[in-house]
Structure 1
Amino acid sequence: MEHNVYNSTSSASHLSVPDIHILTSGGLRIPAHSGVLEMASPVLENIIERLRKHRSSEPVIPILGVPCDAVSAFVDYLYSSRCEEEQLAKYGIHLLALSHVYTVPHLKQRCSKGIGQRLTAENAVDVLQLSRLCDAPDLQLKCMKHIAAHFKSVEQTEAWSFMQDNDPWLELEILQFIDEAETRKRRMRRHMKEQSLYLQLSEAMVFTAHMHGRVHNCGPYDVKPAKKPDPATTTRRAMVFSC
């Protein structure tokens, strides 16, 4: 069975006859152009170079272990540099794995972002494990935060139970992340409370200083301030007393 993925891509309309095929697990043969594949993926470039050295009469690149439609979407991206939302929703996890294996960084980034927006309590653990295998740190952090925020729900899933039985180190890492997150929250709350107390104290001190200044500047409202004695009068009084 053969499927012409490149025919749906306008950018490939000028290309010559396909000179290579990609074989999927379901037996689907996808015709492709070696030049396009080599430009899009250094891994595919190495594979094609080895095929040339062996001078295979019918060069075939097997991409196995993922659904046929996911491989078709992957090849389509190599031609168009576009990934439809529908494809991402259906095959995002498979496309992330393929983009990692065949070193297609832009698709990997696109998949990481799209998968991160579709995290649920049911898939968070599985996606976390895949993100570790595919070296996708941004997606890994999103998974950790999602699990921490919805831990009670995640803890009830089959994926969590399977991980406990088969990957206790990952469970420990998740629990440590949750504990550290809670510690940071407590520290932040304490810091905000201290800042609030400091602000209240500062305002009280300013108010006290203001009131203290008003007291010193105030006196009886019906008494005129005493006048300083006239120097001439003081001199005359001194002369009288001295006589």
Structure 2
Amino acid sequence: MVMACVDLPKAADSSSVPIPPPLPSKSDGHQKRYRNDAAPEHTCVPTATRDMWDRLFNDGYKANVVIYTDNGGIVYAHANIIGTASSVIKGMLKQAKKHGKWYTISIRGVPHEAVRVFIRFLYSSCYKKEEMNEYIMHLLLLSHAYVVPQMKRVCEWHLEHGLLTTENVIDVFQLALLCDFPRLSVISHRMIMKHFKELYATEAWTAMKKSHPFLEKELRDSVFIEENARKERIRKRNEERIYSQLYEAMEALVHICRDGCKTIGPHDKDLKPNHATCHYEACKGLESLIRHFAGCKLRVPGGCVHCKRMWQLLELHSRVCADSDQCRVPLCGNFKEKMEKQSKKDEVRWKLLVKNVLGSKKIGASPFFLPVTSSSSTMS
């Protein structure tokens, strides 16, 4: 699209400014450019040019190359076109025997139609969707063997966006490693990891085990490594959630003993009927636990499961509490004194728990608890 620049008079008012031309529409005839995140077009040239190249290939006008394929098939082509499109074919033509005006070369090991689709692509970079669907594996191999990067990218894109299935993923993975398709090998490897149990029982897996036993073993090992890593991630997430819940319980315990919450609170404060809504989610369960602890007749540690849990929370609080002298939580000072009489093994276990609990809330930590740095230093 040609753009023109117009010099406006310096004293011109806004009414003299010309109206800008409209934006170009999709029907202006400009070809779409390739985008990394978009599907490759079936052609990147005008239709008339594409049709001319197709006629040149299909009619074989002044063709001078005979390509022999499997099952006695023959494809006619033009040496200057296919030699320019592929450096490997160019080298084959230089070494080919010439019979009159004809060069003769062979492309075998793949179906005749796949060779025909491949040669047609060298003319115009065109292909039909149904041909790509049917011969994708053969075209992938041909694009690598004859060094045609454009077809290589097209095949890789189609496999990534729909043609890679559990039926062909094992073959694609092996071919990707053999033919230097790093992105495709990663994508196919991920699919194998995801559907390992299903693929392990297939004939393709058995064939790979016979032809490439080392590769098959590496795949099995990577599955086990990934599974162990997944379990470790789940374990860490569960631990982090527990530590976070314990931190919230410590905050709720201080809140209940200092300010009171709904129907429970310190003995020297009167609870108001219209008490403000509590923002501590742990308060609900903690209130029930405190009420049980206050009325239970087996309040000794080990006598009642619920009371034992309450004793543990009280001791944990005493270890994270920043100032036991000002603390309103019961038995906080008593547990501080008890720490000096504990065994070294129990002390190490408690310090590790304190470190993890305080570490779960590194931002916006409560002023009533020890800072994370202090808890970390106590571990040394």
TM over 0.5: yes
The residue type equivalent to 2:209 in the other structure is Q
1:154 counterpart = 2:195: no
1:10 counterpart = 2:51: yes
1:106 counterpart = 2:150: yes
CA contact (8 A) 1:125 1:160 kept: yes
Residue 172 (structure 2) aligns with: 127
- What is the TM-score normalised by the length of structure 1? 0.72
Residue 209 (structure 2) aligns with: 164
Q: Which protein has greater RCO, CA pairs closer than 8 Å, 6+ apart?
A: 1
1:84 counterpart = 2:128: yes
SS at match of 1:17: coil
Deviation at 1:179, TM superposition (A): 1.1
1:35 counterpart = 2:76: no
Q: CA RMSD in A?
A: 3.2
The residue type equivalent to 2:245 in the other structure is Q
- In the TM superposition, what are the counterparts of 1:124-203 in structure 2 within 5 Å? 124-203=169-248
SS at match of 2:68: strand
- What is the TM-score normalised by the length of structure 2? 0.48
Deviation at 1:72, TM superposition (A): 0.7
Deviation at 1:214, TM superposition (A): 5.0
Deviation at 1:11, TM superposition (A): 4.9
Number of aligned positions between the proteins: 212
Q: Identify if the C-alpha distance between structure 1 residues 61 and 9 changes in structure 2 by more than 3 Å, giving closer, same or farther.
A: farther
Deviation at 1:14, TM superposition (A): 9.0
Gaps of 5+ in 1: 1-7, 222-243
Deviation at 1:9, TM superposition (A): 4.5
SS at match of 1:26: helix
CA contact (8 A) 2:140 2:155 kept: yes
Deviation at 1:56, TM superposition (A): 5.4
Residue 236 (structure 1) aligns with: none
d(CA) in 2 for partners of 1:180, 1:82 = 43
d(CA) in 1 for partners of 2:269, 2:108 = 98
Structure with the higher helix share, 1 or 2:
1
CA contact (8 A) 2:54 2:123 kept: no
Deviation at 1:65, TM superposition (A): 1.3
d(CA) in 1 for partners of 2:114, 2:216 = 30
Deviations 1:141-167 (A, max 9, x none): 233222222223222222222333333
SS at match of 2:201: coil
Deviation at 1:211, TM superposition (A): 6.3
Residue 229 (structure 1) aligns with: none
**Bigger shift: residues 160-169 or 74-83:** 160-169
Deviations 1:196-236 (A, max 9, x none): 23433444455566667758xxx878xxxxxxxxxxxxxxx
Deviation at 1:105, TM superposition (A): 1.7
